[in-house]
Amino acid sequence: MIGRLNHVAIAVPDLDAAAAQYRNTLGADVGPAQDEPDHGVTVVFITLPNTKIELLYPLGENSPINGFLEKNPAGGIHHICYEVDDILAARDKLLAEGARILGSGEPKIGAHGKPVLFLHPKDFNGCLVELEQV
């Protein structure tokens, strides 16, 4: 069901410093910051030859990233994202297998302009999993 790894998301306490580190220290292709109000984050994508890194920074006081950064003040890996061909079919299969979908269970449009869903980390070895339809 899952396809290739789309990205690894890292929550960061300082978006500009993290982007500069990837750009200047690691020599990576760093995109511009983009606000994603529906998800409560500002993101920066770093394009690698085989995948992407997504830097996450809180957008507003109700951002889900605030709680993560309170527990992990230096930041850290927040989630991994896998591609799926059909997000609704993937959701239905996961629900039938007993997995929990976060939120309403309906896909939202993610930072790439494609439908996404998040899976409960307690169902996936403590890892928050995002599915993105390709």
- CB-facing half-sphere around the CA of 33: CA atoms within 13 A: 16
Closest listed residue to residue 83, CA positions, set 124, 118, 131:
131
Give the single-character DSSP code of 122. G
Phi and psi torsions of 70, nearest 5°? -65, -40
Residue 97 is encoded by which pair of tokens?
């297998």
* Residues labelled as active-site residues: 130
User: At 99, phi and psi to the nearest 5?
Assistant: -75, 150
